[in-house]
């Protein structure tokens, strides 16, 4: 099954179009004011219309309250919510009940000890995103362009679909997939010129490199790699 490719932190019509034309399965929009990729609700409405039906729309939030999520849903019309903060399993259950959207929980990874919360999340999340744990003094919990040790996931046996992110780029994405056997990859910094400024050529190169793993990977993949466009979750 083909690898799912997500381009995150899109904020302009032009770069969103490059990602969609390039064949991204998922496009991510950041709603976190301290981030250089944060978009307004007005922009969300515009980009949401542009991406509709062409890729899975992912709304990324960090410990957002209900009102914020409600506004995002009303404007972007996301297919899935990416939770990139310290959201608990109880909060996931609550969000699922209130908004009825598939949930992707981002899990910060540095060592294998970071996988301990997985069984709890596996009961309520629709997929997991393994991302590099941000340094303590970071201004945001993700989108920092730093990889984690992919070998931490080497022996992972997870029934849930999962994706990997953190410092990916066109050069290292094949190795990340080989080691982690993830069903999807997610990139932001690796397709940018400077934080928040996406580069069309880097987006195209990343999607090409990720797609190339489909024909080269001899290993079974553990993450879901199929109906993202339809299901979103």
Ligand X SMILES: O=C(O)c1ccccc1NCC(=O)[C@H](O)[C@H](O)COP(=O)(O)O
* Residue 142 in contact with ligand X, rule: CB under 6 A: yes
* Residue 51 in contact with ligand X, rule: CB under 6 A: no
Instruction: Between 148 and 181, name the residue whose CB sits nearer to ligand X.
Output: 148
Instruction: Between 7 and 73, name the residue whose CB sits nearer to ligand X.
Output: 7
Cβ neighbours for 42, distance < 8 A, ≥ 6 positions apart: 75
Site for ligand X in 52-81 (CB under 6 A): 60, 62
- Structure token pair of residue 28: 């991510």
Catalytic site residue from 25, 79, 126, 131: 131
* Residue 84 in contact with ligand X, rule: CB under 6 A: yes
Query: Residues 27-46 vs ligand X: string with x where CB under 6 A?
Result: ---x-x--x-x---------
Instruction: Between 138 and 220, name the residue whose CB sits nearer to ligand X.
Output: 138
Residue 54 per-residue DSSP state:
T
Site for ligand X in 161-200 (CB under 6 A): 165-168, 186-190
CA dihedral 178, 179, 182, 187 (to 10 degrees): -90
- Structure token pair of residue 46: 């515009």
* Residue 87 in contact with ligand X, rule: CB under 6 A: no
CB-CB neighbours of 198 under 10 Å: 24
Is residue 131 flagged as an active site residue? yes
Angle made by CA atoms 191, 198, 176, in degrees to the nearest 5: 15
* Residue 9 in contact with ligand X, rule: CB under 6 A: yes
Name the residue whose CB lies closest to ligand X. 143
d(CA 129, CA 143): 13
Instruction: Between 147 and 218, name the residue whose CB sits nearer to ligand X.
Output: 147
Look at residues 231, 233, 222 and name the one whose alpha carbon lies nearest to residue 183. Answer: 222
* Residue 213 in contact with ligand X, rule: CB under 6 A: no
CA atoms within 13 A on the CB side of 232: 20
Task: Specify the 3-state DSSP secondary structure of 83.
Answer: strand
Residue with tokens 């302009």: 12
* Residue 131 in contact with ligand X, rule: CB under 6 A: yes
Look at residues 223, 31, 56, 55 and name the one whose alpha carbon lies nearest to residue 127. Answer: 223
Instruction: Between 125 and 187, name the residue whose CB sits nearer to ligand X.
Output: 187
* Catalytic residue annotation: 8, 131
Contacting residues toward ligand X, per CB under 6 A: 8-9, 30, 32, 35, 37, 60, 62, 84, 129, 131, 140-145, 165-168, 186-190
């Amino acid at each position: 099954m083909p690898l799912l490719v997500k381009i995150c932190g899109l904020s302009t019509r032009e770069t969103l179009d490059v990602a969609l034309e390039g064949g991204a399965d998922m496009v991510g929009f950041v709603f976190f004011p301290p981030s250089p990729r944060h978009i307004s609700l007005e922009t969300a409405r515009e980009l949401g219309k542009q991406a509709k039906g062409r890729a899975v729309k992912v709304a990324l939030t960090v410990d957002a309250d209900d009102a914020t999520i409600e506004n995002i849903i009303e404007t972007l019309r996301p297919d899935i919510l990416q939770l990139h903060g310290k959201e608990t399993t109880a909060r996931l259950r609550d969000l699922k009940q209130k908004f009825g959207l598939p949930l992707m929980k981002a899990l910060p990874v540095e060592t294998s000890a970071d996988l301990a919360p997985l069984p709890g999340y596996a009961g309520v999340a629709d997929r997991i995103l393994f991302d590099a744990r941000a340094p303590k003094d970071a201004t945001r919990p993700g989108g920092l362009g730093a990889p984690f040790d992919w070998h931490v996931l080497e022996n992972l046996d997870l029934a849930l679909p999962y994706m990997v992110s953190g410092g990916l780029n066109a050069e290292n994405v094949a190795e990340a997939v080989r080691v982690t056997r993830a069903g999807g990859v997610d990139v932001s910094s690796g397709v940018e010129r400077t934080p928040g400024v996406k580069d069309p050529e880097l987006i195209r190169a990343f999607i090409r490199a990720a797609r190339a793993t489909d024909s080269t990977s001899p290993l079974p993949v553990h993450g879901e790699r199929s109906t993202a466009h339809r299901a979103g979750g």
